[in-house]
């Protein structure tokens, strides 16, 4: 239901006419696109503004960490090991004597890249397969679902070790390559969930009257999938994606823990959290700060996702 005119015609929700009329008044008689409509709506939501500001802050941190701290995140002073927060080091020091504040700031880059890239790739693979399987059904659905089942069954640890160690040339891999491989292995092993969600949403959407109507009107397959089914299946996937983002940043920690993920000199929140494992009881601050940043970031993405979804959904107005 991307086309506002069709949408109003089908759902006949009275408030939509009102909104459309309002907009029409401001902008002359040319009806605005859904996107600009959504944008107009978004700008006035405090939820959106707060989450966007948070995300911008995190992005800023990951692009220019030096704006926030002048301490080298890879400089460790073992004598200060596990010291608590102080004026000199706001977040204190970890087990190795690294400055936690500096590492938290610098850690945002790898975490965000891994989280966002892995989520995008997972959603991309999963949605494509899910939509196709859901739309066409039959043997294609069967085949794709079974492939998904097989991938789903692969233990994450097994798949990740095999993928990461076979694509990694003996030891000398640049941080960029490692990040890429981490993203790739997370996505390859996670897409089936997204596919199942998309597939079920697509199956449900296929039965809807407006899809039948569109088909009856002779709309092409791609148009039906992209313009009618996709927007309606987007909500559950968006919910999954925003939460998966947080989970993927954590999954990266698991990989590092196994010795196949990110490693020094790259810093990430996941690595910090996994490093804190053995000292949680004596130095809880080494867990608290990266975990708090991770939570806040994921929260921001979830709220943003919520706001965008509501703005895009004409029914929810």
Partner 1 sequence: MGRYVLRRLLQLIPVFIGTTFLIYWLVWSLPGDPFSGKCGDRPCPDSYVAAMVEKFNFDDPLVVQYGKYMLNVLQGNFGETFRGLDVGELIGEAYPNTIRLALVALAIEAVIGLAAGVLTGLRGRGFLDNLVLVSTLFLISLPVFVTGFVLQITLGFELKWIKTTVSASPAPWEHLIVPGFVLGSLSMAYVTRLTRTSIAENKRADYVRTATAKGLRQRRVVGVHLLRNSAIPVVTFLGTDLGALMGGAIVTEGIFDIKGIGSLVYDGILGKEGVTVTGVVTLLVMVYLLSNLLVDLLYAVLDPRIRYD
Partner 2 sequence: MRKPRWIAASVMPLALALTIAGCGGGSEDSGSNGNTGGSTGASDPDGALSAFGTEPENPLIPGNTTESGGSKVIRSLFTGLTRYDPVTGESKNAVAEKIDTTDSKVYTIKLKSGWKFHDGTPVKAKNFVDAWNFTAASPNGQQGASFFEQVQGYKDVHTEDPDGTAGPQKAPEPTAKEMSGLKVVDDSTFEVTLNAPFAVFPLKLGYNPFFPLPDSFFSDQKAFEAKPVGNGPFKFVSRKPNAEIVLTRNDDYAGDDKPKFKDLTFKIFESNEAAYTAIVGGDLDFLDTIPPTGIAGGKYKQDLEGRNGSTPYMGNQTLTFPYYDPTYANVDLRKALSLAINRQEIVDKIFDGTRIPADGWVNPAVPGYAKGQCGDLCTYNPEKAKEYLAKSGFKGTVKFSTNADGGHKDWMTATCNSIKNALGIECLYEPIPTFAETRQKINARQMNAIFRTGWIADYPSIENFLNQLYRTGASSNDGEYSNPKLDEILGRADSAPSVDEANKLYQEGERILAEDFPVIPLWNQTAQYGWSERLDGARLTSLRELDLTNVTVKKK
Shortest distance, position 309 Cβ to partner 2, whole Å: 39
Could you say whether residue 157 binds partner 1 (CB under 8 A)?
yes
Judged by CB under 8 A, the chain residues 163 through 222 that form the site for partner 1 are 165-166, 192-193, 196-197, 200-201, 203-204, 207
Could you tell me the two tokens for 19?
């909104």
Q: How far apart are CA 292 and CA 282, in angstroms?
A: 18
Of the candidates 246, 242, 245, 244, which has an alpha carbon nearest to the alpha carbon of residue 305?
242
Of the candidates 55, 1, 20, which has an alpha carbon nearest to the alpha carbon of residue 313?
1
Shortest distance, position 73 Cβ to partner 2, whole Å: 12
Shortest distance, position 283 Cβ to partner 2, whole Å: 8
Judged by CB under 8 A, which of 273, 308, 311, 312 binds partner 1?
273
Could you say whether residue 260 binds partner 2 (CB under 8 A)?
yes
Q: How far apart are CA 310 and CA 221, in angstroms?
A: 27
Could you say whether residue 256 binds partner 1 (CB under 8 A)?
no
Could you say whether residue 247 binds partner 1 (CB under 8 A)?
yes
Decide: helix, strand or coil at residue 77: coil
Shortest distance, position 33 Cβ to partner 1, whole Å: 22
Could you say whether residue 89 binds partner 1 (CB under 8 A)?
no
CB 99 within 8 A of CB 71: yes
Decide: helix, strand or coil at residue 214: helix
Q: Which residues contact 100 (CB under 8 A, 6 or more apart)?
A: 89, 91, 92, 93, 94, 272, 285, 286, 289, 290
Judged by CB under 8 A, which of 8, 136, 263, 288 binds partner 2?
263
SS (H, E, C) 88-150: CCCCCECCCCEEHHHHHHHHHHHHHHHHHHHHHHHHHHHHHHHHHHHHHCHHHHHHHHHHHHH
Judged by CB under 8 A, the chain residues 164 through 203 that form the site for partner 2 are 165, 170-171
- In the complex, the residues that contact partner 1 under the rule CB under 8 A are 11, 47, 142, 145-146, 149-150, 152-159, 161-162, 165-166, 192-193, 196-197, 200-201, 203-204, 207, 235-236, 239-240, 242-243, 246-247, 249-250, 253-254, 257, 270, 273-274, 276-277, 280-281, 287, 291, 294-295, 298-299, 302-303, 309, 313, 315-316
- In the complex, the residues that contact partner 2 under the rule CB under 8 A are 75-79, 81-82, 95-97, 161, 165, 170-171, 257-260, 263-265, 275, 277-283
């Amino acid at each position: 239901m991307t086309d506002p005119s069709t949408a109003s015609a089908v759902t006949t929700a009275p408030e939509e006419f009102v909104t459309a009329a309002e907009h029409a008044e401001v902008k002359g008689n040319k009806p605005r696109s859904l996107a600009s409509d959504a944008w107009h709506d978004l700008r006035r939501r405090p939820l959106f503004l707060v989450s966007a500001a948070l995300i911008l802050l995190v992005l800023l941190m990951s692009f220019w960490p030096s704006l926030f701290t002048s301490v080298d995140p890879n400089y460790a002073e073992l004598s200060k090991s596990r010291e608590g927060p102080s004026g000199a080091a706001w977040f204190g020091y970890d087990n190795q004597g690294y400055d936690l504040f500096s590492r938290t700031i610098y850690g945002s880059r790898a975490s965000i890249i891994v989280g966002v890239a892995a989520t995008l790739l997972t959603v991309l693979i999963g949605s494509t397969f899910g939509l196709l399987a859901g739309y066409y059904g039959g043997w294609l659905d069967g085949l794709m679902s079974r492939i998904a089942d097989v991938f789903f069954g692969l233990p994450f640890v097994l798949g990740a070790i095999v993928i990461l160690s076979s694509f990694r040339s003996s030891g000398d891999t640049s941080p960029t390559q490692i990040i890429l491989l981490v993203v790739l292995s997370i996505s390859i092993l996670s897409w089936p969930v997204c596919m199942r969600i998309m597939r079920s949403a697509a199956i449900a959407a296929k039965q809807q009257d407006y899809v039948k109507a569109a088909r009856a009107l002779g709309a092409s397959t791609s148009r039906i999938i992209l313009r009618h089914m996709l927007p309606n299946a987007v909500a559950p996937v968006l919910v999954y994606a925003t939460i998966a983002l947080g989970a993927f940043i954590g999954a990266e920690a698991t990989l590092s823990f196994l010795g196949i993920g990110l490693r020094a000199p790259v810093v990430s929140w996941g690595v910090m959290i996994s490093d804190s494992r053995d000292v949680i009881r004596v130095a809880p601050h080494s867990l608290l700060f990266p975990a708090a940043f991770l939570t806040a970031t994921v929260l921001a993405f979830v709220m943003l996702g919520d706001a965008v979804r509501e703005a895009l959904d004409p029914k929810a107005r």
